[in-house]
A = this chain, B = another copy of it.
Amino acid sequence: MTNFPEAFDRFALQILSADLPDEAHRRFQSLARMTVLEKDRVLDFDYTRAQLVFVARGATKLVAHASESRDQIVAFHFVGDVFSIPERDNYSYSVCALTDCELLSMPAAEVLALAANEARILSHLLHNTTVSLQRCREKTIALGRKTAVERVAVFLLAMADRIGVEQGGVTSLDLPMSRRDIAESLGLTIETVSRQISLLREGGLIATSGRSGIALRDMAGLRASAGYLHEAA
């Protein structure tokens, strides 16, 4: 579908300032590399250096390998998202395609060096990072203090917020990730995730269709199941 210049322009629109001189624009462009990834494929990148990634199309998961056969999904990202892959330290990170997708990746340090005097760009990057931090903190709370049902409810609400489609008061979701992915994101097993989804369905809070279709039928009930603070506290 897309070619590199088009993908880069969309990245530029969101992160680079509009009034950036062509010369500078080109320098940024020369840092970016586009990768077309089919579903389930892993992004190949230089893991000795932190990378900045723009999702031009599709959806991805950012996975940390805690040890053999223990992976933790750190975050999901969808079209238009910008995120960073940390360089390898105590863990090794990888980016995997949930659906066919197109990614622009560039070394974070070099982008930062180029942007060192561009307040507009830094401002966008800061905003992006702050949003990521906020999501990560909420995830921390879920993993640290919530039960299995609560985590699944939190997950569904968060996904509805990001990729849900509202129609006639009911929000529906087409989840691009498998039960395994959900489990690895929530620190649970696939069996537990499956059981909790069944419980929510039996409770009438959601309806499912096929593997990936979910309709949120009772938002208030879900928020309660998610263990969120009572509204207007």
Contacts and interface: CB of A to CB of B under 8 A. Distances in A.
A178 interface: no
A223 to B, nearest CB: 9
Contact of A187 (B67, B91, B129, B144): B144
Nearest to A187: B144
Given A119-B117, A140-B140, A187 B66 contact: no
A93 B138 CA distance: 11
B229 A143 contact: no
Question: What is the total number of copies of this protein in its complex?
Answer: 2
A64 interface: yes
Contacts of A136: 133, 136-137, 140
Given A126-B125, A140-B139, A228 B145 contact: no
A134 B86 contact: yes
B227 A67 contact: yes
A136 B136 CA distance: 6
B137 A64 contact: yes
Please provide the 7 A-B residue pairs with the shortest distance between their CB atoms, ordered closest to farther. A144-B187, A143-B143, A122-B122, A136-B136, A72-B144, A66-B145, A133-B133
Given A66-B145, A92-B233, A133-B129, A140 B74 contact: yes
Contact of A126 (B129, B137, B145): B129
A143 B66 CA distance: 11
A44 interface: no
A27 to B, nearest CB: 16
A71 B233 contact: no
A66 B140 contact: no
A72 B138 CA distance: 10
B119 A186 contact: no
A132 interface: yes
Interface string A84-104: 101000111000000000000
A84 to B, nearest CB: 7
